[in-house]
Chain A
Amino acid sequence: SQTIHQWPATLVQPVGSPLSLECTVEGTSNPNLYWYRQAAGRGLQLLFYSVGIGQISSEVPQNLSASRPQDRQFILSSKKLLLSDSGFYLCAWSLLRTQGGEKLFFGSGTQLSVL
Chain B
Amino acid sequence: ELKVEQNPLFLSMQEGKNYTIYCNYSTTSDRLYWYRQDPGKSLESLFVLLSNGAVKQEGRLMASLDTKARLSTLHITAAVHDLSATYFCAVGRPGGATNKLIFGTGTLLAVQP
Return the chain B residue nearest A96 by Cβ.
Answer: B97
Interface size on B, residues (CB 8 A): 24
**Partner among B4, B43, B97, B102 whose Cβ is within 8 Å of the Cβ of A90:** B43
Q: Confirm or deny: A45 has a beta carbon within 8 angstroms of a beta carbon on chain B.
A: yes
A97 to B41, CA, bound (A): 26
Inter-chain contact B105/A102, CB cutoff 8 Å:
no
Q: Confirm or deny: A11 has a beta carbon within 8 angstroms of a beta carbon on chain B.
A: no
User: Which B residues fall within an 8 A CB radius of A?
Assistant: 4, 31, 33, 40-43, 45, 48, 50, 88, 90, 92, 96-106
Q: Which residues in A have their C-beta under 8 angstroms from that of B40?
A: 111
Q: Confirm or deny: A49 has a beta carbon within 8 angstroms of a beta carbon on chain B.
A: yes
A64 to B41, CA, bound (A): 23
Contact size class for A?
20 to 34
Q: Confirm or deny: A43 has a beta carbon within 8 angstroms of a beta carbon on chain B.
A: yes
Return the chain A residue nearest B6 by Cβ.
Answer: A43
A45 to B43, CA, bound (A): 13
Inter-chain contact B99/A43, CB cutoff 8 Å:
no
